[in-house]
Amino acid sequence: MKPFNNLVKCTLAVMGVMLVAAAGFEAPARAQSTPTIFQATLQEAGQLTAEISTEDLEGILARGDTPVLDVRSPLEYAIAHIPGAINIPEQEVARIMQLYFGLNAKIVLTCNGPFCGKSKRTSEQLILAGYPSANLTRYQLGIPVWRALGNTVQTDLAGFLHILRHDHTAVFVDARTPQEFASGTLRCAVNIQAGEATAANDDGRLPKWDKGARVVVFANGPAAAKQVASEIAKKAYWSSSYFGGSLLDLRRAEVFDIESEGPCPGPN
C-alpha cells in the first residue's frame, strides 16, 4: 500500500496548492511554504529506475547538464510540453541510444504523469538494450503535476494550429501592446500584458469560473509570451501555455487568416 499512500499524499498536497490559488490567496514564498510538495516523488516499489522530484527537474533544466526526454507522441509534445524537454517518442529507443549512450551519459524521462507508462516502458527498453540503469531517472509526476504546481508549459506551432482548429473553447491571449493588438490579431484573442493576470482573471478576459480552460499565450517572441503565461498559470489556470515561436512564425502559418467556427468563448 505504500506506493498508493505516497501517491495520495502527493495528490492531496498538489490539490491543496491549487485550492489556495483558486481561492485567490497569496501563497508564501516557495522555499518557506511548500518544500515537501516540490520534493515529492511517487516512490513506487519494483521499478528499475529511480524517480526525481519537481525540484530536481527544475534544477536539471536550469543547469542544462542532462537531457530531459519527453517520450510522448509528437503531437502531444507540440500541444504542450515542459520547456527545455526534448521529444523522442517511446518507439524510438534506438535513436535515444544513438544520441545519448555512454558511461557518463545520463537521461531523464518523462510523459503524462503518475499513471503514464511511456517513461517506464522506455526506461525498461533502454536497460534491455544495454543502457546503464544508474544513468536513467524518471520525472514520473510528469506534465500534469508540473502544471498543477504553477509551472507553465510550451506550445509549438503544430500544437498551436491543432488547438486553433479543434479546440473551440480555447482562449488565445495576445501579449503584445494594446496598439499592436488593435492593429490586427487572432480572431477571438484577448489582450493581456505582463502584470495584468489578476485584472484579467477578474474582468472577464480569462474564464474565472473555468480554471481548466485551455489558455494559449503568444507575443512577438517566446520570452514575452512565457512571462505572461507564467503569471496566468499562477492564477490557477493549469491548462495554460505559451507559444514557443515568434509572431512571424504565426504570420507565415497564416493563423490570423484561419476562420474558426462558432462564437468566441464567452467571459467566465
How many angstroms separate the CA atoms of 169 and 261, rounded?
11
pLDDT tens for each residue of 21-32: 333 434 444 445
Question: Span 159-187, mean pLDDT?
Answer: 95
Global pTM reads 0.85
Q: Which of 125, 90, 79, 103 is nearest to 239 (CA)?
A: 79
Question: Model confidence at 261, in pLDDT bands (50, 70, 90)?
Answer: low
The superfamily (CATH) of domain 154-255 is Rhodanese-like domain (3.40.250.10)
Label residue 236 left, alpha or beta by phi (over 0 means left) and psi (-120 to 50 means alpha): left
Look at 217 and 266; give whichever has higher pLDDT. Answer: 217
How many angstroms separate the CA atoms of 20 and 16, rounded?
6
Question: Span 164-191, mean pLDDT?
Answer: 95
How many angstroms separate the CA atoms of 34 and 22, rounded?
16
β-bridge partners, 172: 216
Two domains, one topology: 2-148 and 154-255? yes
For the chain, give every domain's residue range.
2-148, 154-255
Question: Model confidence at 257, in pLDDT bands (50, 70, 90)?
Answer: confident
How many angstroms separate the CA atoms of 156 and 200, rounded?
24
CATH code of the domain occupying 2-148: 3.40.250.10
Tell me: pLDDT of 103 over 60.
yes
Tell me: pLDDT of 127 over 50.
yes
Question: Span 60-81, mean pLDDT?
Answer: 97
Question: Span 92-116, mean pLDDT?
Answer: 91
